[in-house]
Amino acid sequence: MTEENDPLSLERLAFEAKIRGLASKTYTFLSIDVINSTQLKSEENDEDIIFTFLAYQCFIERLAKLNNGEILSITGDGVMCRFPEPADALATGIAVIDALPEFNKKNNVLRRPVELRLGVNTGKMYIDKQTGQSGGIISQAIDLAGYLQKSAPPNSMLASQAVIDQAQKTFPALSTLRFDERYRFQTYCYSGAPVSASPQERQGPKKLKVLVADDEPDASYFFSRMFEGRGHETAIAFDGPGALRLTQAWKPDIILLDIGLPGIDGYQVLRQLRSNKLDYQGPIIMLGRRCSVEDIDLSQTWGANCCIKKPCDERRLIIKVEELAKGLIHTRSI
């Protein structure tokens, strides 16, 4: 068999050609992962899990972009970000930790708070010369960012000496943590505030004004009786325009909004409520017969707090409404 027909030789030639098409470039990598996500998701419904983790990914991506970074990969609940400059990665990590309590208050619809570990490292990555994308070869710099992330204390960021040495900016909030004996470098740490109790644990129940916007009379009256039995006030709208009018006139604390409303559907109502003109700041729960991933994504994109599938469990809905309404503040852009 000639060399040109030898499969191993052909494979080697292809590999060598690929190597010639790669270039190395120095980046700083920020690795972020959710602590004990299995427990976080336990005893939760799929809609709330999807909603919270989509919000989490948007939360990370927004802060990375603000600091000239990008999402390199998402694996499970872990996110790897890439930055041209070390200072931008450090600024993003600090911003994520500082904003985490607000995220838990406004965007996390699960019963337990989201806790994170972050790791930052600077080093070379192989990229395709033509596309600028990852060359498919694992970078040790990325591996070390993941290693530091796993070693970080809860709600803290651990950075390597390489990041500090190459950052053209000082970060007084970072403190020297320890010398890593395995990889022989100094590590630096930034820690956020301890995770506080959930809103429902901090505050007692309060009387709410609940607007039920649903075109199915049986469902509307069921929801109304259910909340009035808890001591709350309710009002009912059977179509989209009615929901908008009642919101402006009655000013509810929280809105249950059916996706399939006649006149204008629930998504259009949601967009108008979150617009600068109406600027409704209270929580909005979308209700739908399907609550597919697409429904959840659209609900989140246009500013809803969560999306719940109908028919829904009475106890679960009451808990969700009372938990969300205690903040009475909504972040319209995630």
pLDDT at 196: 55
Cα Rg, the chain, nearest whole Å: 25
- pLDDT of 255 reads 96
Amino acid at 70: E
Q: Return the pLDDT at 107.
A: 85
pLDDT at 284: 94
The pLDDT assigned to 121 comes to 95
Rounded to whole angstroms, how far apart are CA atoms 159 and 30? 9
Q: What is the pLDDT of residue 159?
A: 95
Q: What is the pTM of this model?
A: 0.68
Below-70 pLDDT ranges, the chain = 1-23, 127-138, 193-205, 327-334
pLDDT, residue 193, reads 67
pLDDT confidence of residue 19: 52
Which ranges constitute the DSSP H helices of the chain?
Answer: 7-20, 37-41, 46-66, 86-106, 140-151, 161-166, 199-202, 217-228, 240-250, 266-273, 293-301, 314-325
